[in-house]
Amino acid sequence: MSEVDNESDVVGHRRRKLAALRDLGGAYPNAFRREDTAADLHARHGDAAKDALEAASVRAVVAGRVMLRRVMGKASFLTLEDPSGRIQCYLRRDEVGAETYQEFKDLWDIGDIIGVEGTLMKTNKGELTVQAGAVHLLAKSLKPLPEKYHGLVDQETRYRQRYLDLMVNEESREVFRVRARLIALMRRFFDERGYLEVETPMMHPIPGGATARPFVTHHNTLGVDLYLRVAPELYLKRLVIGGFERVYEINRCFRNEGLSPRHNPEFTTVEFYQAFADYRDLMDLTEELLGSLLDEIAGGRVLRFGDDELDFRQFARRTMSEAVGDATGKTPSEVADPEALAALARGLNIAVEPHWQWGRLLMEVFEARVEESLVQPTFITQYPAEVSPLARRSAADPRLTDRFELFVAGREVANGFSELNDPDEQAERFRAQAALKNRGDLEAMHYDQDFVTALEYGMPPTAGEGIGVDRLAMLLTNRTTIRDVVLFPQMRPAGSEEAT
RNA sequence: GGGUCGUUAGCUCAGUCGGUAGAGCAGCGGGCUUUUAACCCGUUGGUCCUGGGUUCGAGCCCCAGACGGCCCA
């Protein structure tokens, strides 16, 4: 322990108190058992009349962290917080004993974890309170809590020391309760529909399933580099080939890209696959899923998000070409013309690469001009094949695929398509991606022979989709920063030199 | 990567024209047996993010850097 030199006065005082507590027989006992929670006591007795409650002499045994203290000479009030909420406790010297009361006054602090056994009462102001018969210090807190009224505001500290944020900011706790509920509801949704929950590898010998830069790691015994997965897609499709015709996975993906209010290098998706279905079935399913999530969590299908009111009662569906045409005022034939699109892209300050074809140009213009304007839930369909190397081509136009993405509040929330199950065409698409990679495109896909081999055994016609869980959580908790919905967001190490 | 704003006591924040740093809460000492952001009296506490520079003098001005927020790419 080398912190003695630089510890603050507060910590010094508390360490002395801790030493005194140790002398008295221990400051970290583990024998106390809570019998009642704050919320439960409020629910059962919050409405009771003062006299009736005292006449009933209801025993209560609570435990939690001391959040507030109002100390008088011979009696004190404490506000105790447990995971369910807060409950006030009342300590009278004459009831807990002079020795204990003195110990409480001298050695206990805000932030300590304590247990209180006593009887329920109501104060003159009508607040339900545990009148203590016995009190126990259960864990000494050596560090001062953030300010009792303003809480912890500093965003950097809230992210770096999330436990402090959770300790003092109820809104922050609520965000993560909603997130947990969201995930539980999604599990139930897929389980009820016969999808099998599976876990596929996080470490891939060949990164695949999305166009994104991967993290690289190394397996010592095998002597090979492995990639943290950018998507589980190719493994989930192998499972469909194996006969698990409905599968889903809720877990982390990793992408080696910048940090932003919308991007954390590790993020959570739910990805699901269903044989004998196409992308339209998945759009219907997505509407059903989001609708039911909103019903359960937001209590209805209209959601307040920032200044917007998002209406999930109806989802728009438009093709990418239509959306680009509307946003740019171009005619369908202009949108279908690579030269016109290239000119449009340059006009938007997009660094157009000479090898980009029509599809890539359309996608780039879409991302630059349309994406952010899609506030109400909107499916954009018919993505170009050039930017969709795993998706099935549209029967009507081979330049397009039966793919969609869902946008809400200007953010991509879901991406799904009818799967490409022709092994020869998949091989061809991989070759095109590999060619891009050779040109230096760090996000292009690798050629995955093992996956092509799997396809050669025959994959039933299938549709698959991924939904960004963090982004859903942001929508449902009205947060504009992914860091607010990730418990421990990635941060630059404090005070480090910048890596080159 | 660029722009911009921020970083001051444990926390939340002030800090005038460049003149030697403050408040509230927390802490410490005292008082108070129904308080509730308890209250009353007294009081401790500072690497003003870091490193340079300008100046008689820098929390404040200039330069570089770190970390964070926001905007853009």
Cα–Cα distances in angstroms (integers) from residue A165 to residues A7, A82, A493, in the given order: 22, 15, 19
Q: Which residues in window 430-449 of A are less than 7 A from strand B by Cβ?
A: none
Count of alpha carbons within 13 Å of A307, Cβ hemisphere only? 1
Please name which of A160, A163, A112 lies closest in space to residue A136, comparing C-alpha atoms. Answer: A112
Written as six digits, the tokens of A348 are 């938007």
- Residue-averaged pLDDT of chain A: 94
Say if residues A409 and A438 touch (Cβ distance below 8 Å): no
Residues of A 119-158 whose CB lies less than 7 Å from any atom of strand B: 121, 123-127, 129, 143-157
User: pLDDT at residue A498 above 60?
Assistant: no
DSSP string across A303-344: EEETTEEEETTS-EEEEHHHHHHHHHT--HHHHT-HHHHHHH
- Average of per-residue pLDDT across A433-439: 92
Give the nucleotide with minimal C1' distance to the Cα of A88. Answer: B36
Q: Name which of A16-20, A347-351, A367-371, A392-396 the model is least confident about.
A: A347-351
Instruction: Give the residue from A329, A445, A453 showing the smallest Cα distance to A388.
Output: A445
Kindly report, residue by residue over A322-363, the tens digit of the pLDDT. 999 999 999 999 999 999 999 999 988 888 888 899 999 999
Does residue A242 have a pLDDT over 50? yes
- pLDDT confidence bin for A3, thresholds 50/70/90: very low
pLDDT in tens, A260-317: 999 999 999 999 999 999 999 999 999 999 999 999 999 999 999 988 999 999 999 9
Instruction: Please tell me the predicted confidence (pLDDT) of residue A495.
Output: 55
pLDDT score of A258:
85
**Predicted pLDDT at A2:** 31
Q: What is the DSSP letter of A143?
A: S
Q: Is the CB of A10 under 7 A from strand B?
A: yes
User: Each residue of A47-91: pLDDT tens digit?
Assistant: 999 999 999 999 999 999 999 999 999 999 999 999 999 999 999
| pLDDT score recorded for residue A490 | 92
Which residue(s) pair with A247 in the sheet?
Answer: A196, A273
Say if residue A4's pLDDT is above 70. no
Phi-psi region of A271 (alpha: psi -120 to 50; beta: other; left: phi over 0): beta
Is the shortest CB-to-strand distance from A173 to strand B under 7 Å?
no
Query: What is the spatial distance, in angstroms and rounded to an integer, between the CA atom of A465 and the C1' atom of B68?
Result: 35
By C1' distance from the Cα of A372, the closest nucleotide is B72
Interatomic CA–C1' length for residue A3 and nucleotide B20, angstroms: 31
Task: Determine the distance between A377 (CA) and B23 (C1') in angstroms.
Answer: 49
- CA A241 to C1' B12 (Å) is 58
Mean pLDDT of A191-198: 98
3-class DSSP assignment, residue A24: coil
Question: Is the Cα dihedral A299, A303, A304, A309 positive or negative?
Answer: negative
Residue whose tokens read 């930017």 = A387
A110 CA vs B29 C1’ separation (Å): 18
- The residues near A212 (Cβ < 8 Å, ≥ 6 apart) are A230, A231, A255, A256, A257, A443
Assess contact for A215 and A256: CB atoms under 8 A: yes
Q: Which nucleotide is nearest to A92 (CA to C1')?
A: B33
CB-contacted nucleotides of strand B (7 Å): 1, 9-13, 24-29, 31-39, 44-45, 65-73
Stated in angstroms, how far is A321 CA from B19 C1'?
67
Contact (CB, 8 A) for A323 and A316: no
Task: DSSP letter for A485, please.
Answer: T
Please report, rounded to whole angstroms, the spatial distance between the CA atom of protein residue A268 and the C1' atom of nucleotide B69: 24
pLDDT band at A445; cut points 50, 70, 90: very high
Count CA atoms within 13 Å of residue A47 on its CB side. 2
Ramachandran class of A126: left when φ > 0, alpha when ψ lies in -120 to 50, beta otherwise: left
pLDDT band with cut points at 50, 70 and 90 for residue A25: confident
pLDDT at residue A8, as a whole number: 62
Place of tokens 């340059």: A346
Instruction: Report the 10 Å Cβ neighbour count for A215.
Output: 16
**Count of C-beta atoms within a 10 Å radius of residue A464:** 26
Residue A144: which nucleotide is closest by CA–C1'? B10
Q: What is the pLDDT of residue A1?
A: 32
Instruction: Assess whether A11 (CB) lies less than 7 A from strand B.
Output: no
- For residues A208-216, average pLDDT: 90
C-alpha atoms less than 13 angstroms from C-alpha of A151 in its C-beta half-sphere: 14
A25 touches strand B (CB under 7 A): no
Q: Which of A32, A22, A13 is nearest to A113 (CA)?
A: A32
**What are A407's two structure tokens?**
């946008």
pLDDT interval class at A455 (50, 70, 90):
very high
Q: What is the pLDDT of residue A9?
A: 82
Taking the CA of residue A173 and the C1' sugar atom of nucleotide B69, their distance in angstroms comes to 22
**Can you give the distance from the CA of residue A50 to the C1' of nucleotide B35 in angstroms?**
16
pLDDT at A434 over 90: yes
Q: How far is the CA of A135 from the C1' of B38 (A)?
A: 21
Task: Give the distance, in angstroms, between residue A11 CA and nucleotide B47 C1'.
Answer: 19
Question: What's the complex ipTM?
Answer: 0.92
Q: Find the distance separating the first CA and the last CA of chain A, reported in whole Å.
A: 34
Mean pLDDT of A150-158: 93
Helices A9-23/A98-107 angle, 10° precision: 150
pLDDT of residue A7: 41
Q: What share of chain A is helix, strand, coil (3-state, %, to 5)?
A: 35, 25, 35
Mean pLDDT of A222-248: 97
Taken in order A171, A173, A177, A178, the sign of the CA dihedral is positive
Kindly report the number of other CB atoms within 10 A of residue A495's CB atom. Answer: 5
Is the pLDDT score of A499 beyond 70?
no
